[in-house]
Amino acid sequence: MLQPFAAKMTNAGSSARMFASTVVTLGCAFLLLMAAGIGVVIAITREANRLEAQRQAERVETAFNAQIRLNELRLQSLTATGELPDALQEDDPKVALQAAFKRLRGQLVDFDGAYIASARGIVLAGTETDTQLVRSGAEGLRHLEAFLRGAKEFPVSVAVGEELLPQFGTTRSTIVRDGDETLMLTVVDLSRVVPFSAASMPETLFLIAYRHISTSLLAELSDRYRVADIRLVSAQPGDRLNGLALRGPDGTASGWLSWTPARPGDVMLHRFLWALIAVALLFSAIFIFVVQRLRAAAGQIELRERQIQRLAGQDELSLLPNRRSFDLTLDQTLADLQRDGQGLAVMLIDLDRFKAVNDTYGHTAGDELIRQVAARLVSATQAGGTVARIGGDEFGIIQTQATPAGCTALAERILARLTEPFIVMGIEVTIGCSIGIAMAPRDGKDREMLLRLADTALYQSKNSGRNRFAFFETQMNRSLQLKRMVEDDLRRAIENDELTLHYQPQVSVDGSTVVGVEALVRWPHPVHGMIPPSDFIAIAEERGLIMPLSEWVLRRACIEARRWSGVRLAVNVSPIQFRHKDFVANVIRIIEETDFDPAQLELELTEGVLIEDADAAETAMMDIRAHGVGLALDDFGTGYSSLIYLRRFAFDKIKIDRSFLEYMEATGESAILVHSMAHLGRALGLRVCAEGVETAEQHRFLQAIGCHELQGFLFSKAVPAHEIDRLLGLDNPFAEVLIAA
Ligand code: C2E
Ligand code: CA
Ligand code: CA
């Protein structure tokens, strides 16, 4: 029976594993995606930086070249104005050159200096500002020589007349170092401009102008070409700085232009960092959301797996058959029983203190305990037995080929196994169990009946103390049914006035006169017949119905007994009712409402009312007596310390319990007790009543020892009110007269 379920178990938890692996996969995918995203962003940033750096380098180069071009154009346009050519027509070229240069000077403001030199390096004329340069002519020549060396293709051929202007390409520029300074040097070959006569100027002449690469010039370039902080450095700039080599005529770098590169990628990254973070957060949120949805889905799948297991008849925790499967098996076994006629037993096992373990150590411990209990039950059950978990801490066993002796042995085995301590999660716990057994076909033949009867037996074994088993017995069923019925119906019965009162006469000691009646409640039930108070008073007390019940009794008794004037009415008081704070007030109210004479009423209390709070009881009793109501101590002699109460509390009467009379004939001891009780009562000035008088012998004895009143079947059982009427002769017109007599 257990085998197929065990096999199926391997499926359990697969959805959990699936969920875990899906989450891992998703997590990896998510991380990869994030990494890829970050990679792309970094690449874009780098590329943007690189492109812009390249573009800036191009711009700086362009800017610098443009500056040089500008210098060249300026110088060319100067030489083309005609002033210089004119001067060169003079006889003394040197004088003429100086004069012409003087005139040019005003137009050389863009340059820091200029001079005219011969190819041999002789300075023929120069700016005043450049006196130093002129003075150090050799230096100037070095520039020139360097320049000429570098510019091999420099055109030296002489152009003529009208072809002057198109020959403007005779200008060259270069960069040279001059001490700490770096100069942009621009040279015009004057022989292309002026047609010298060989006689007047045998050498080729050059106009040389220069410009310092100054901070202001660079600032201007920076500004114009939007390249931050262009500056001149002597060494090659570092990684983070871009540079442009300024090469002299010999091709060696005579300096570097450097600047702080714009990093648009970085700027963009900064600007969009928040957006990126937001995107990352969004992705994370989506990831978490997806994981949660997945988890919920996995939960659903697991739940469905369990449902499937349940439908398949297995309890997912204990791996035993579940309730459904148990029922099916029982039906099947009962059907087989019809054919082979062998006995079958249904056992219900209910664990004690399981809830305590669950509450104290948690559900995991509870689950573990259930598994262990299941294992012990399986091991205790013989072949042919089916163990199932049919409720939280309830198990059921179907035992085929069962005999009462076999069942007793099995139940004892189970009790022994389950009362041994369990080790649950390292903790030793002890539980117990109660077992109820019903047998087929002896007790019943169908499933529902057997289960109900086994449950009744279980209930019984629980009620008679735990760690027991009980076979179902017919009478069990009745009392249990009754208890359940009372629990269900009593409130309605009180409300609907379905109860009734019987009255038992109390007679004078010679048995001749009815001196009182005791009201005793009855419940004529449409199905269960007349139900005695012993069957429902205790339940009424348990269920909080004793107050309405007692009030109903007192009211009804007062109304009915009003017509029995001269006859005392005794009414029983339950301890719970007596302890109620409004007890006295309620009694008085009902007496008044029913217009009953308080002196005619006698309340019967038991010791139970006095034990719990003696002071309060005393107060209530004094109060009630002050209103003229009498008090009797009921069931006298059965309590623990009747004598003490008798001394302390103000009773009018004691009622010697009927159990003393019951055993009086058998043991002489009882007679002595009854004798001393009666004696004591009389000594304390109380009326003494004996209950349960059934025989003439008892009557004689009680009369002899001096009892005042008697009550018992010998005189009358409790009877309906109209019977009391008859007894008192109230149903005949002379009744009043008779009683008086
Ligand atoms: P109790 O107060 O001791 O009432 C006397 C019981 O003894 C009655 O049983 C009565 O029928 C029974 N009895 C009387 N004479 C004899 C006899 O000669 N031989 C035997 N064997 N029994 C006799 P009942 O009516 O079943 O009442 C049982 C108990 O239920 C009462 O005991 C009383 O404690 C309680 N009870 C009855 N009616 C009420 C009620 O209205 N209120 C409260 N609180 N309790 C009530
Ligand atoms: Ca009584
Ligand atoms: Ca009694």
Q: What is the pLDDT of residue 735?
A: 44
Å from CA of 537 to ligand 3 middle: 14
The token pair that represents 191 in the structure block: 């022989």
Residue 494 Cβ inside 6 Å of ligand 1? The answer reads no
Residue 658 Cβ inside 6 Å of ligand 1? The answer reads yes
Residue 504 Cβ inside 6 Å of ligand 1? The answer reads yes
Percent of the chain predicted with pLDDT > 70: 81
Examine residue 491 and state whether it is found in any structural domain, yes or no: no
Where are the strands (E) in 494-611, listed by range?
500-508, 514-525, 529-531, 568-572, 601-605
Examine residue 651 and state whether it is found in any structural domain, yes or no: no
Q: What is the pLDDT of residue 85?
A: 59
Residue 718 Cβ inside 6 Å of ligand 1? The answer reads yes
Among the atoms of ligand 1, which is closest to the Cα of residue 711? 15
* Helix 614-626 / helix 583-594 crossing angle, nearest 10 deg: 20
Location of structure tokens 């700490």: 180
Contact 600, 636 (CB under 8 A): no
Residue 402 CB neighbour total at 10 angstroms: 24
Examine residue 443 and state whether it is found in any structural domain, yes or no: yes
Examine residue 102 and state whether it is found in any structural domain, yes or no: no
Mean pLDDT to the nearest integer, 296-300: 84
Which amino acid type is present at position 24? V
For residue 710, name the pLDDT band (cuts at 50, 70, 90).
very high
Residue 535 Cβ inside 6 Å of ligand 1? The answer reads no
Q: Which CATH number fits the domain that encloses residue 407?
A: 3.30.70.270
Residue 667 confidence (pLDDT) above 80: no
Q: Which residue lies with its CA nearest to atom 4 of ligand 1?
A: 520
Distance CA 677, CA 684 (A): 11
Q: What is the pLDDT of residue 128?
A: 53
Q: Which residue lies with its CA nearest to atom 21 of ligand 1?
A: 692
The residue range of the domain holding 405 is: 323-472
Residue 553 Cβ inside 6 Å of ligand 1? The answer reads yes
Its pTM stands at 0.47
Residue 712 Cβ inside 6 Å of ligand 1? The answer reads yes
Sign of the torsion angle spanned by Cα atoms 527, 531, 535, 536? positive
- Across the chain, mean pLDDT equals 81
Å from CA of 326 to ligand 1 middle: 47
Task: Kindly identify the ligand whose nearest atom is closest to the C-alpha of 699.
Answer: 1
Å from CA of 634 to ligand 2 middle: 6
Residue 100 confidence (pLDDT) above 60: yes
Task: Kindly identify the ligand whose nearest atom is closest to the C-alpha of 698.
Answer: 1
**How many distinct structural domains can be found in the chain?**
1
Among 4-13, 36-45, 443-452, 636-645, where is mean pLDDT lowest?
4-13
Residue 382 confidence (pLDDT) above 90: no
Residue 455 Cβ inside 6 Å of ligand 1? The answer reads no
Among the atoms of ligand 1, which is closest to the Cα of residue 691? 15
Q: What is the pLDDT of residue 438?
A: 94
Examine residue 267 and state whether it is found in any structural domain, yes or no: no
Examine residue 404 and state whether it is found in any structural domain, yes or no: yes
Residue 505 Cβ inside 6 Å of ligand 1? The answer reads no
Examine residue 393 and state whether it is found in any structural domain, yes or no: yes
Å from CA of 580 to ligand 2 middle: 19
DSSP assignment of 383-443: TTEEEEEEETTEEEEEEES--HHHHHHHHHHHHHHHHS-EEETTEEE--EEEEEEEEETTT
Distance CA 703, CA 671 (A): 13
Å from CA of 550 to ligand 3 middle: 17
First-last CA distance in the chain: 85
Where are the strands (E) in 261-402, listed by range?
344-352, 385-391, 394-400
The H-or-E segment that residue 253 falls in is strand 253-259
Residue 694 Cβ inside 6 Å of ligand 1? The answer reads yes
Pocket test residue of 507, 537, 577, 586 for ligand 1, highest count of atoms within 8 A of CB: 537
Q: What is the pLDDT of residue 134?
A: 45
Distance CA 686, CA 678 (A): 9
Residue 247 CB neighbour total at 10 angstroms: 14
DSSP helix/strand/coil, 241: coil
Examine residue 432 and state whether it is found in any structural domain, yes or no: yes
User: Taking ligand 3, which is a single-atom ion, which protein residues have CB atoms under 5 Å away?
Assistant: 634-635, 691
Q: Which residue lies with its CA nearest to atom 11 of ligand 1?
A: 718
Q: Which residue lies with its CA nearest to atom 34 of ligand 1?
A: 572
Tens of pLDDT along 539-580?
Answer: 888 888 999 999 999 999 999 999 998 999 999 999 999 999
Pocket test residue of 572, 587, 605 for ligand 1, highest count of atoms within 8 A of CB: 572
Q: What is the pLDDT of residue 740?
A: 40
Is the peptide bond between 441 and the residue preceding it cis, with omega within 30 degrees of 0?
yes
Q: Which of 91-95, 189-193, 720-724 has the highest mean pLDDT?
A: 720-724
Tens of pLDDT along 306-359?
Answer: 777 666 788 888 889 999 899 999 998 888 887 776 789 999 999 988 888 888
Tens of pLDDT along 504-522?
Answer: 999 999 999 999 999 999 9
